[in-house]
Structure 1
Amino acid sequence: MTVFVCAGCDAVLSSQLAQVALPVHAHQKWGHRLLPVLMEPGTYAVDSEPSGPPWRPWGEISEDDAAARGVFAPASLSFGPPGAIVIAPGDARGTVLIPDRCGGYCCGLDGRDGLNLACAQCGQPVATRIDDCSLWQAVWFVPNAVRALRDNQPTGGITGWEWQKWQAVSPVAPDGSWNPQWAAAVGAGLAHLLAASEGIPVALPNGPITDTFDHALNALLPTAAPAKTVALAGPGLPARESTRRILLVPQHPQTGERWLASTTAKTVPMPAAAWKQLAFPGEALLLPVTGGLPDGVQRDDPLPQHPWEPLRPDWGVFLHTLARIPAVREPWLRRIYDQVKEHPYARPF
């Protein structure tokens, strides 16, 4: 377990936390409503990329320098420090708001004025609280403002590929709109799936995969006979080996490691929660049930949720992911990247 303390005075700034993979929707902007808390209580994640000012436009960066940072298509890049640490606001300790840095778009704080949380003991700015509409609620520690104190206590989390313990993400929100977490996972998965297709149409299996990706692939790939098939692979599923398959595989929820399902087939990583929803869409019963209901007893199960509009993958997450896949330098895929960047709300987004 890990506790973060102020680098200036050693004051405790967080509760005990266990590290998990950075959520794919960590920097997502979605709609104009308040979003939930980004991180589960008792967890933290680290963003390996630089974040915060100064920012430099693509025209001021050489392609070689950008590629060395893992970015292969035009994007504005941060030249701030890498390694920002994100936690749930409820896990922050010993911090106070900086009154003159509390700007936001309309409903809360969005970090536009820079670090807005200071150490309550020494006054050093240490983090940014985010809770404005369209943004996931979080506290982001600046890496050089805090230190991590680790102990040998077990985290109690998932250490292996124990997919039964993973929490599947519901595609549809309670109000009938698409879950932004699902839209982000699909946007990232679509970027990897396009790259794996090599610009050639692919055959999708009937079921959740087709419902999720078919509309987008039809809009972005040419019409022709499919050359490869897409299938799910991962823990709890039969092994699949074929050079003509593209496999949708899970990323470990704690480490972010991709399931190494095959050494020959191309793999498309999906967040564990989204992968489980695709692989095992039915809800598991908590207790075994035998027989039927007694006479005169009516079921009161809620009806399945159905969205009130077609699925739109998150275009921002799609572009962010695609820009970090080397295949985007291929002319056909670069055209898709540029097209979506210029018209982000066109079909299928």
Structure 2
Amino acid sequence: MTVFGCRTCVAALTVHVSRVALPVHADQKYGNGPGSLAPALEPGTFAVDPLPSGSPWRPWAELEAGEAEALGWYVPRLGVSAGPTGQVLLAPGDIRGAVIDPALVGDTACCGLNGGEPNMVCESCGTPVAIRIDDCGLRQAIWLEPLATRVIEDGPGPHPVLDWADLIEQRPGIPPSEPSGGWHPLWPAAIGSALAHLLATSGGKPLVIPDRQVAGVFQPALDRLVGPVGAGPKHTLVLAGPGLPDDDGDFALIPEHPQTGEHWPVAPSVKPVPLAWNAWRYLAFHRDPKPAGRSIPLPPEALPALLPGYRFEPDGRIFLKVLARLPEVRQPWLRAIYERGRPYSYSFYIF
């Protein structure tokens, strides 16, 4: 069982938790409320951010040759953290022995708590140990400070690691539609990240997407970024993963294991594009049953829509962040796509 505690007094600060992969929507901002978004992690789990976090912040213009790449960035950002790595993400209900200190709550938030510096302190010794976030449009979260906390008990935790077959059975994915009829916030985040990987992997080649659900979330953005498929040579994007037939495309959307971060392996001739499990699982296996009593199958265009009717927009902030961390973004054509987001302060992207 993994338990985190205060580095100063060794008091326990969390319940027992199991490690999972850091989700692409960990620091998502979606809409403007009212209210915050659901936590990125389920109770009893934690994830570790491999990137530097917090102060000191370095303006891009002040970074010397090679410094940005060493910090994980390949194109300009407004500012780059040179702080410690290893910030730990928790669901808010898993924190113990820490309280919000009003003196540490900044004035940059709107309707709740936000900020890049700790606003929670250890009850035992008063050391600032964590950041509580619950502002409008943000994921509810606890971020433990890596220099103020440490592991005081280590073990597998309450959630055993599932194999791919068990994931298929126990993790059915998240439907794209919310009760209101709009898109679930996870989907713009998952597709925004996968779209960045797809562009970097494809080299801008025109892509044909046979699956109508996959085409529904990827094709409009691809058409606007690299142009519609023309009459020349074409490449195919398919779904690949556990429970599906062998890969038969040039590029394959493959699942990321939500606990280990492992990617489903594909044949050497197929170029993989990682997609968050909850979206991949739904796209791969959610199909409406055939109408009862009909002997002649309906054509795909006559079947009911499985995706919300509202126009889909990938999460532009996550798209730009993921793209900025891929070396391929330095190619001129992809750098030009990235630069479209510069006027919007990396918080919005017009697809």
Tell me the TM-score normalized by structure 2. 0.88
Q: Is the 8 A contact 1:200 1:222 kept in 2?
A: no
Deviations 1:254-304 (A, max 9, x none): 1111111122221100111111111112489xxxxxx99xxxxxxxxxx98
Tell me the residue number matched to 1:270. Answer: 275
Alignment partner for residue 115 of structure 2, among 111, 122, 141?
111
Further displaced range: 221-230 or 206-215: 221-230
Moved more, 131-140 or 63-72: 63-72
User: Which stretch shifts more, 27-36 or 89-98?
Assistant: 27-36
SS at match of 2:50: strand
**What is the RMSD computed on CA atoms of the aligned residues?**
2.2
Deviation of 1:96 after TM superposition, in Å, equals 1.2
Deviates more, 1:96-105 or 1:127-136: 96-105
Structure 2 match to 1:156: 159
Identify the range of structure 1 (221-230 vs 262-271) with the bigger mean alpha-carbon deviation: 221-230
Deviations 1:288-339 (A, max 9, x none): xxx99xxxxxxxxxx9886463111000000000011111111000000001
Taking the aligned partners of 1:161 and 1:150, their CA distance within structure 2 comes to 28
- Where do residues 199-348 of structure 1 align in structure 2 (5 Å cutoff)? 199-223=204-228, 224=230, 225-240=232-247, 245-282=250-287, 307=308, 309-342=310-343, 347-348=350-351
Classify the secondary structure of the residue corresponding to 1:50: coil
Secondary structure, aligned partner of 2:317? helix
Aligned length: 329
Task: Choose the corresponding residue for 2:46, options 37, 44, 60.
Answer: 44
* Worse overlay, 149-158 or 92-101: 149-158
Contiguous gaps of at least 5 residues in structure 2: 294-303
Q: 1 CA distance for matches of 2:159 and 2:135?
A: 32
**2:87 maps to 1:80:** no
Quote the residue 2:296 is aligned against.
Answer: none
In the alignment, which residue of structure 1 is the partner of 2:67? Answer: 65
Distance 2:197 2:103 in 1: 42
The more displaced of 314-323 and 264-273 is 264-273
> 2 CA distance for matches of 1:152 and 1:25?
26
Question: Residue deviations 1:91-122, cap 9 Å, x none?
Answer: 0000111111223522110025x211000001
Matched with 2:20 is 20
Contact 1:176 1:305 in 2 (8 A): no
Q: Which AA in structure 2 matches 1:139?
A: I
Deviations 1:228-263 (A, max 9, x none): 100111111112266xx0010011111111111122
Q: Check whether the contact 2:13–2:98 (CA below 8 A) recurs between aligned residues.
A: yes
Contact 2:6 2:129 in 1 (8 A): yes
Identity %: 44
Helix, strand or coil at the partner of 2:205 = coil
Cα deviations across residues 31-67 of structure 1 (Å, max 9, x unaligned)?
Answer: 1112112210000000010011111121111352212
Amino acid in structure 1 at the alignment position of 2:242: P
Contact 2:97 2:124 in 1 (8 A): yes
In 2, the alpha carbon distance for the partners of 1:314 and 1:97 equals 31
**Mean Cα displacement is larger for which, 120-129 or 221-230?**
221-230
* 1:288 alignment counterpart: none
Q: Which runs of 5+ in 1 are unaligned?
A: 285-290, 293-302
Q: Secondary structure at the match of 1:16?
A: coil
Give the AA of the match of 2:95: A
1:129 to 115, 128, 132: 132
Q: Indicate conservation of the 8 Å contact 2:341/2:350, yes or no.
A: no
Q: Secondary structure at the match of 1:237?
A: coil
Structure 1 residue 345: Cα displacement: 5.1
SS in 1 for 2:83: coil
Residue in 1 that maps onto 2:100? 97
CA distance in 1: counterparts of 2:253 and 2:55, whole angstroms:
36
Whether the 8 Å contact between 1:241 and 1:264 is mirrored in structure 2 is no
